[in-house]
Structure 1
């Protein structure tokens, strides 16, 4: 409760009818703090959501917020921007999934346009999230380097190292990304991933690999395809 001269004025900083008191500057409305992300902050947020998804750790996100000094709402908003936060959406139809599989090699924005043309309005973020869950690109025959990093439980730099060393065969995606944007992205065939997995088992840790995806890959879809499609 305010005491002294401030208690006698009608200034208030709450609600749409906020009043201000020039004399008592301490009662002026404070500017809302801006939360600017950095690569390190994004890494902490990604790790927190990964712990939530894989291990059901409900304290991961609050702990991450405390670690980076952000409120939980700011962390959630950034996670949504990064395509990590799941929002309520209509179930995906078989026709929509077929479009994802046919045009999976395209960017999420272009796939969203394809879906819209077919009468299925979806945001680019929703498309990106679904592709990540399905781990598909172009009829399930192609993967991006980022998708493989998630599937193998490895850092993206490790995937690019495999590609540059020739251990993992990959092609360029043919995007318009400049060198300043990191250059063109990679696409890797399912066959190339399987060949690498069988030829170089010491390069990855089976304890970190996405189990159902790996079994689906090695058995050519005989074991886990139904589970993957239902994701």
Structure 2
């Protein structure tokens, strides 16, 4: 039974693990005609996986049944190899365990993963379902909100999407993620001509109404409605330096009819 990575004699270690010019010459002589099995016979101490890795580095290829050299060697399986793969995947292996399995059966890791899929040991990965018009409508209407909040809105509407899928979709749609009715502390500070700490002090003193939201950064956890900014300006005129405010925004704020 193929329970170990095939090798003739003791495995090379120490300085003997480095490949010599003579060994590489033997690889070039025997691999194209006999594959890994032929190389094992003339390279004592070299495992099947080490030979496979070395021929890959050297760019050696083995002709197929049609006599032509293909990009990859056509690896065959056996009941013994399948049994080892099944035994490995029954334990829900991580990447390291799959690599060890590949060394044991003398096959590349990509082949082992592909074989596990064919044996029904791994759930196939399906492409993301096409977005419906209704889903797109939900994400565009709420583009300014946190991806998690949008995900909950989609769930209430009967759709299931990951936060990553939502962010990617918004980027592809080129959706405007700015909320016309709200500003965060940084945005308000910019149009008022002050720094963020000043805005924070207005909030701390109770002059400016604001609420916390799911923060995307340490500087962006305050969520302030335009009507509350207007109320602050009206009630605290002395705190506003009219020379520093963004005048067009300021006029639009005061002329607004909301709230």
Tell me which interval the TM-score lies in, with the shorter structure as reference length: 0.3 to 0.5
Bigger Cα Rg: 2
